[in-house]
């Protein structure tokens, strides 16, 4: 196994790890602790105000 093969395998592992970390970071920014999408949560719910119909 030559140096090119070793470099290729290391590059594939690093690429896989970086891709996993980027995707995980994107999901952590889009969801809150309760598993709800941050951009879809009602703004009144964030402020703690009562919602319509309550």
DSSP state of 37: B
Residue 13's pLDDT is what?
A: 98
Write out the residue range of the structural domain in which residue 43 sits.
Answer: 3-47
Task: Return the bridge partners of 37, or none.
Answer: 31
Split into its structural domains, the chain has a count of 1
**Tokens matching residue 24:** 């995980």
Q: Is position 24 within any domain?
A: yes
Residue 38's pLDDT is what?
A: 85
**Tokens matching residue 13:** 């592992």
Q: Is position 52 within any domain?
A: no
Q: Is position 19 within any domain?
A: yes
- Tens digit of each residue's pLDDT (9 = 90 or more) over 24-41: 999 888 988 888 888 887
Is the Cα torsion angle 13, 14, 16, 21 positive or negative in sign? positive
Q: Is position 31 within any domain?
A: yes
Q: Is position 28 within any domain?
A: yes
Predicted TM-score (pTM) of this structure: 0.59
**Tokens matching residue 52:** 């319509």
């Amino acid at each position: 196994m030559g140096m090119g093969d070793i470099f290729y395998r290391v590059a594939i592992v690093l690429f896989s790890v970086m891709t996993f970390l980027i995707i995980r970071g994107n999901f952590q920014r889009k969801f809150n602790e309760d598993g709800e999408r941050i951009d879809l949560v009602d703004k009144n719910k964030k402020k703690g105000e009562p919602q319509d119909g309550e």
